[in-house]
Amino acid sequence: MPLFIWTGCADDENEDNEDNPVIPGRKIYIAGSDADGACYWVNGSRVELPGGDWVTDIVVVDGDVYTSGTCGENACYWINQERFDLPGTWGEGEAIAVDGDDVYVAGWFDNGSCYWKNGERINLTTNRESQAFAIGIRNNGDVYVGGYYMSNHHYYVPCFWKNGNNRSNLPAAEDGEVYDITFDEVGNMRYYAGNTTKLDNFSGYPPKACYWRHTNRTDLPLGGSSMDIYGSYANGITIDGDDVYLAGYTNRYEFYGEEETTGGDFPQYWKNSTIHDLEGGPLTNFGTGVAYDIRVADGNVIVVGIATRGPNYDDSGESACYWLNGELHYLDDDMSGELGSEAKGVFIE
């Protein structure tokens, strides 16, 4: 069946573009922000979220759109266009999950990591540096939160919390962090995406993208030499049957005398342990882009993130985008990218 790909610029009329779907018969929801603040896109059409600065995650249940993010100094979430501010000074909401009538948001505030259930804050690791970036609810109601905390030895320890502050470490070569979580309910298995620092004779302890299946860590390939690539990051994870998909990027060294042809961040995704480079924008001192989240539907791979955009190395900015089966599509109509926008989460209905 041929794909019908939306390729135009986003509009502000809050229409769903059902006549021009990204994937036939599907709605693609992408959470993020642009120069006008917090928003999400439905099949490419922009929907504004009142009073927010940015949106980090999105989920749709029975037609209602749930998003997490930040408004001023508060973590917050929205149900459709209604915003709910969350307690905790200088908080940020990083991920959202819905279970029946209960809304869960993972994040952090100025005293550590936490999650909120229907607006009530549940502290995780406090009185030390710690952040929670991911949350998921198992079919049996268990609540899992992923993130990191700083140990007494000043190590960043990747971890998850189950049903409150019951914390378990995940194995790491050195430091590490968890950024996303997903479940295989049939196989009764949890998957976490993140990175761990790992000794390299050339570059010291660079970050290396990885994922954990339950507690077994799999390091992901760099896609090149560690003499050219500083490190890599896995930001988002999903599973499709027996396949594990992760979205992220590599960070490459910039070489003296080759500043306009080397260096920066380059978007990619991994299917199991095979790396797939993603088309970016023009090469700038930022690189060409970053992938933040990933989903698979009907054999199609949707990745969201940012890609550089503009006339040349010195004047290009970064814009929210998605990749459909590797093909780049921007989400806003700022051809220079100077106003700035980003896409952080995706949900397929």
State which amino acid sits at residue 332: D
Instruction: Quick: pLDDT tens for 39-50.
Output: 999 999 999 999
CA distances from 90 to 74, 116, 219, 261 (A): 6, 14, 33, 39
* Angstrom distance (rounded) from CA 341 to CA 74: 20
Considering the chain, what percentage of its residues have pLDDT values greater than 70? Answer: 94
DSSP 200: B
* Angstrom distance (rounded) from CA 20 to CA 325: 17
Paired tokens of 78: 């929205």
* Angstrom distance (rounded) from CA 139 to CA 188: 10
Specify the pLDDT at position 14.
42
pLDDT exceeds cutoff 50 at 5: no
At 28, is the secondary structure helix, strand, or coil?
strand
* Angstrom distance (rounded) from CA 250 to CA 131: 22
Specify the pLDDT at position 227.
87
Specify the pLDDT at position 269.
98
pLDDT exceeds cutoff 70 at 3: no
pLDDT exceeds cutoff 90 at 274: yes
* Angstrom distance (rounded) from CA 139 to CA 99: 9
Domains of the chain: 28-348 (2.120.10)
* Angstrom distance (rounded) from CA 71 to CA 55: 9
Specify the pLDDT at position 208.
96
Nearest Cα residue to 95 out of 2, 160, 180: 180
Half-sphere exposure of 258 (CA within 13 A, CB side): 10
Can you list the alpha helix ranges (DSSP code H) found in 176-254? none
Looking at per-residue pLDDT, the higher value among 261 and 276 belongs to 276
Instruction: Quick: pLDDT tens for 293-328.
Output: 999 999 999 999 999 998 777 778 999 999 999 999
pLDDT exceeds cutoff 50 at 15: no
Give the chain's count of helices (H) and strands (E). Answer: 0, 28
* Angstrom distance (rounded) from CA 272 to CA 241: 12
Q: 319: Cβ–Cβ under 8 A, 6 or more apart, which residues?
A: 281, 306, 307, 308, 309, 330, 331, 332, 334, 337, 340, 341
Mean pLDDT (whole number) for 110-139: 97
pLDDT exceeds cutoff 70 at 347: yes
DSSP 227: T
Q: Which residue has the tokens 């307690």?
A: 87
CA distances from 223 to 65, 230, 249, 273 (A): 37, 11, 10, 10
Instruction: Quick: pLDDT tens for 277-298.
Output: 999 999 988 899 999 999 999 9
Specify the pLDDT at position 12.
42
pLDDT exceeds cutoff 60 at 9: no
Specify the pLDDT at position 91.
94
Q: For 15-36, b where at least 16 C-beta lie within 10 A, e where not — what string? A: eebeeebbbeeebbbbbbbbee
Paired tokens of 294: 């990933």
* Angstrom distance (rounded) from CA 347 to CA 65: 10
Average pLDDT, the chain: 91
pLDDT confidence tier of residue 258, bands split at 50, 70 and 90: confident
Of the candidate ranges 12-16, 65-69, 102-106, 167-171, the one whose mean pLDDT is the lowest: 12-16
Specify the pLDDT at position 306.
98
Specify the pLDDT at position 231.
95
